[in-house]
């Protein structure tokens, strides 16, 4: 019996709701055709797929049926929960992505692993996982699935508990998997556009957190990073998940000034490429001279030590 409930932190919806809503009757899927575009999968407690903004961007098969699944009710109608806001965020018209929603029970480790296995059989190569917990064992089946399906890039929020994840780990971020991108939330710094600052509540970790994105919380940051990956994927269709992650970080146009001490593994500020063309907010303008690392080193190989001389 699991003793802890995984925390789901959806953008602007911090209150936890029931993880398995009683579904007496689900609404029918609105008719439609596959909209095309890069497919982004979303692990969710459920969405309202009847909303026009979502229904018209759902990934569908040749008969108009949803490419998605409900692993709780074992059907392809993942209705309910509070993932609608996040789904809407991912379906930014400027990106033109399509959604593969998968409803999971985050208290069930097998459900998380089955979701990854299902997504691997869909057109989606990018997966948003807006949840985390402190119990490593809750995520072991998920870890095994992620390692097996290396073609996927999974985008994970660092969390908003104000913790150093190198010392006080949360999962799945702390597995340090090469095809998992861990993203923290940041805001424009006082000398924007030359710098950004991590939000006070954002989790950090020089060996755990890969990058930041301008957003209100870490789940929204994960959505921004997923959209950035979706904008890049058509230009790099043959990259596996780890390679796409590295390319995304290395080609980040916006770069932060150096941190003392360094709080993330790279200084990249992720933003969708197609949105960089028309940025009007001075706090988000790209830097003139972006510093691009040659490669993102994996922890445990040759990572530099923090300035205090202790490995975190």
Q: How far are the Cα atoms of 35, 69, 91, 166 from residue 60, in angstroms, in the given order? A: 8, 12, 15, 40
CA distances from 66 to 88, 103, 109, 273 (A): 17, 13, 24, 28
The CATH number of 32-284 is: 3.40.50.200
* Residue 204 predicted with pLDDT over 90: yes
Pair 116, 151: CB distance under 8 Å: no
pLDDT digits (tens, 9 = 90+) for 36-55: 999 999 999 999 999 999 99
Element (H, E) at 241: helix 241-250
| Token duo for residue 110 | 């097998």
pLDDT at 82: 84
Quote the CA–CA distance of 158 and 218 in Å, as a whole number.
6
- pLDDT for the residue 196: 82
Q: What percent of the chain has pLDDT over 70?
A: 76
Residue 219 Cα distances to 11, 122, 156, 240, 299, angstroms: 6, 23, 8, 23, 23
* Structure-block tokens of residue 107: 């208290």
Q: What is the mean pLDDT of residues 135-145?
A: 96
Residue 295 has pLDDT above 90, yes or no: no
**Residue 261 binned pLDDT confidence (cut-offs 50, 70, 90):** confident
- Residue that wins the pLDDT comparison between 33 and 196: 33
Predicted confidence at residue 273, as pLDDT, reads 73
Element (H, E) at 155: strand 153-157
The chain-wide mean pLDDT, for the chain, equals: 82
Per-residue pLDDT, averaged over 187-208, amounts to 83
Q: Which tokens go with 16?
A: 């936890």
Strand pairing category for 180-188 and 196-198: antiparallel
H or E element in which residue 111 lies = helix 109-119
How far apart CA 30 and CA 36 sit, in angstroms, is 17
pLDDT tens column, 93-136: 999 999 999 999 989 999 999 999 999 999 999 999 999 999 99
**Six token digits for residue 38:** 């890069």
- Domain ranges in the chain? 32-284
């Amino acid at each position: 019996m699991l003793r802890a409930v995984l925390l789901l932190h959806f953008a602007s919806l911090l209150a936890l709701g029931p993880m398995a809503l009683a579904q007496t009757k689900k609404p029918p899927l609105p008719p439609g055709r596959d909209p095309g575009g890069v497919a982004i999968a979303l692990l969710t407690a459920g969405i309202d797929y009847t909303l026009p903004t979502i229904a018209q961007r759902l990934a569908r098969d040749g008969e108009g049926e949803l490419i998605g699944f409900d692993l709780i009710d074992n059907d392809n109608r993942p209705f309910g929960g509070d993932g609608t806001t996040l789904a809407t965020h991912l379906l930014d018209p400027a990106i033109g992505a399509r959604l593969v929603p998968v409803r999971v029970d985050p208290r069930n480790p097998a459900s998380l692993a089955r979701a990854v296995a299902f997504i691997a059989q869909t057109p989606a190569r990018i997966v948003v996982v807006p949840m985390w917990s402190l119990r490593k064992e809750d995520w072991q089946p998920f870890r095994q699935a992620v390692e097996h399906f290396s073609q996927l890039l999974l985008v994970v929020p660092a969390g908003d508990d104000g913790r150093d994840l190198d010392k006080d780990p949360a999962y799945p971020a702390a597995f340090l998997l090469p095809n998992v991108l861990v993203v923290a939330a940041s805001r424009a710094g006082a000398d924007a556009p030359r710098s950004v600052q991590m939000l006070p509540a954002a989790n950090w970790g020089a060996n755990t957190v890969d990058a930041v994105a301008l957003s209100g919380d870490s789940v929204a940051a994960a959505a921004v990073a997923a959209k950035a990956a979706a904008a890049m994927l058509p230009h790099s269709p043959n990259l596996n998940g780890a390679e796409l992650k590295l390319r995304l970080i290395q080609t980040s146009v916006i770069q932060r000034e150096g941190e003392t001490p360094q709080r993330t593994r790279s200084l990249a500020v992720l933003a969708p490429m197609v949105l960089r063309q028309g940025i009007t907010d001075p706090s988000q303008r790209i830097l003139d001279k972006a510093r691009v690392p040659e490669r993102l080193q994996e922890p445990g190989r040759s990572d530099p030590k923090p300035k205090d001389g202790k490995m975190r």
